Amino acid sequence: MPTLADLEAALGYRFRDPELLRLALTHPSLAHEQGANQMHNQRLEFLGDAVLQLVITTQLYQQFPDVGEGPLTQARAQLVNRTTLAMHGRRLGLGIHLVISRGEESSGGRTRASTVADAFEAVIGAVFLDSDYPTVRDLVLRICRESLGELEAVPNLSNPKGELQELLQATAPEPPRYELKSSSGPDHDRDFECSVHHRGEELGRGHGRSKKHAESAAALAALQLVRARMAAGEPGEMP
């Protein structure tokens, strides 16, 4: 079974106080099962949400000095929404480390997007308390860059599919094609994964609570790839 040391290795951070990490992984359902005195991760989740908001807001503010409040707010919402945070949490393997009640276990709580996203926020809060702001800032930015790639420009988040199609069809008439890769979770909390392809190449994948939202997330990932290629001046038919 994976250990907390494995999770620390995935995070790239070793806790001075391992109890903070254990608390971050303790689901509130345990309090319902074991009594009100059982501590859980909701307070750390509250703190971690604020830390994430500050880190991402500061990064966007500094990286895009000529972009206004509206697009920056949309970009931040895309980077710190539940689907994106759950994706980060799953890549760290948080689900298998969660301490949850038997009822939550039987209902699939370890894989539920909201549970994993909340745990990710709680872990960020725990890292902040265990270290300092510069340390947690570097950790958050590293995780975001590994998962989403460097943002070369703030895309039109209100219509990423339309922007991607316009960008791609500037060099080739073929429109991008979307595929549903998987769907999981209970009916009230579904998680869809979609990919987007162009001229035989997969350009990005995304998750969402609906197929439409997953396709938009995939389009956003593809936009980042296409814009990075444009900035690098890569040859080929891709713009």
Catalytic residues: 49, 121
Structure tokens at 77: 């919402």
What are the backbone angles phi and psi of residue 12, rounded to the nearest 5°? Answer: 75, 30
d(CA 136, CA 116): 19
Angle, helices 211-232 vs 160-168, to 10°: value is 40
Length of the chain: 239
Would you call 156 exposed, middle or buried from its count of C-beta atoms within 10 A (0-12, 13-18, 19+)?
middle
Grouping H, G, I as helix, E, B as strand and the rest as coil, residue 197 is strand
Tokens 């990710």 sit at which residue?
120
Q: What is the DSSP string of 120-161?
A: HHHHHHHHHHHS-HHHHHHHHHHHHHHHH---SS---TT-HH
d(CA 37, CA 35): 6
